[in-house]
Structure formats: C-alpha cells, structure tokens
Amino acid sequence: MRPHLIPVVAALLLAAAPARAEIFSAYSDIDTNEDCTQFAGPEDGEGDWGNFVCDGYKGYPVFLYYGDARDSLFYGFPPAGDVAPAWESFSAFNHSSPKIEWRVERTGSRAVPYATIHRWFVSDPEDADKKVEVLVVEKVGQPYERDGCAVAYVMATGNQDSNEKARRYADEFARDFACGADQPAIDAGTVPLPDFTRDQ
C-alpha cells in the first residue's frame, strides 16, 4: 500500500467503527407537590392512598403508588392498556428518597436509561422509630418493551460500598433481567434485608 494512502484508510476505518457506549449516572427528584400529577386517589372515607406520575429522566416517567404508609414505584414506560405495574414494596412501613439515580447508556447522541437505584427507608416492624436503608435496583421499562421490576436489593445499612455494589448490579443484570421469571439478587451485608413483596 502506498504510504500516502495509509492515513486515508485509517480515517475510513475509524468512521466505519461503531461508537463505543458510555455508561454514566444521571439524577432526578420526586416531589409530589411539584414534579408529579396525581391520577387517582381516595374518595371520602377510603383511607390514605394515591397514584402519581412524575417527571423522570428525559421523557421517562416515574409512577409512584402510595398506600397504607408504603410506597411502590415503577420507572419508565408501564404495561400498555389497563394493566397496572405489579405492586413492589416492603412489608413494613416505608418511604422512598426523593432522589433517583439513573444508570444510562449513551451511544453517539442516543442516551437510554436502563436501570434506577433508589434509596428506601424501611421501619423496624417492632419499633417504627428505627429504620434501615435499602438501595433498590430496578430495570427501567422501555417504550417498546414496557417491562420493569426490581433487579437487586442492596442493604445500605451495615453494608460497605453499597452504592458501588448497586451500580454493579444495575450494569451487569438490569438490561437482560426477565421480570416475573428471574429472581432479584440480595446483598444484605451485616443487616438482614427487610421482607419485601411483589404482587404479580
């Protein structure tokens, strides 16, 4: 090959190579008074509950379902039609942090969030003033798939490097996780994970 053609060929090969994906974190906040719209709630005497849709990451919504002092959340695009996302929560009284971490894969100009990491505060069933913290890793529902669920539960209380562990679970398992078939991972550290439920 002629020496002066080498730079031209190299440039063509670089242009044809697929763009390398970049993984990064982005953050959003939930404030039911500012960032959310309530689409269902109790009539008089029906108790304390509410369903909200909130702003998430770049057009990806977050659905917050609250009832009986417990939260359940779905991140991204929910099942189509009248099918509500499965209720996922802890058995004990709980609430979620207002801040959500999104794990995002960017290829070129396209950025797709594939997982969230969200901190929960869960009460001790025998002492409501005592709480433990859990990082819940969730698969994000995509517009074409609409499948989302918990991928991993990482205790933040009594578990060193819990944030880094949660990111590893998100990056390694969330994209290929089969909701309803695969079982979420549990990383408890020195503190047992509180009981949790997922209604199919």
Q: Are the C-beta atoms of 40 and 51 separated by less than 8 Å?
A: yes
Does the structure show a pLDDT above 90 at 5?
no
Sign of CA dihedral 150, 151, 157, 163: negative
Higher per-residue pLDDT: 49 or 44? 49
pLDDT in tens, 106-123: 999 999 999 999 999 999
Name 85's Cβ contacts closer than 8 Å, sequence gap at least 6: 63, 65, 72, 74, 78, 79, 141, 148
As a whole number of angstroms, the longest Cα–Cα distance in the chain is 85
Does the structure show a pLDDT above 90 at 59?
yes
**Residues paired with 70 in a beta bridge:** 67
Sign of CA dihedral 48, 52, 55, 57: positive
Global pTM reads 0.88
Q: Average the pLDDT over 73-97 and give the result.
A: 91
Ramachandran quadrant class, 4 (left: phi over 0; alpha: psi -120 to 50; beta: rest)? alpha
Q: Average the pLDDT over 142-171 and give the result.
A: 96
pLDDT of residue 98: 96
Does the structure show a pLDDT above 80 at 81?
no
Residue written as token pair 């002629």: 2
Which whole-number Å values give the CA distances from 114 to 38, 76, 139, in the listed order?
25, 9, 6
Of 8-12, 34-38, 132-136, which gets the smallest average pLDDT? 8-12
Please report, rounded to a whole number, the percentage of residues in the chain having pLDDT higher than 70: 90
Q: Are the C-beta atoms of 92 and 125 separated by less than 8 Å?
A: yes
Residue written as token pair 């990383």: 187
Q: Are the C-beta atoms of 120 and 134 separated by less than 8 Å?
A: yes
Hey, where are the domains in the chain? Answer: 20-195
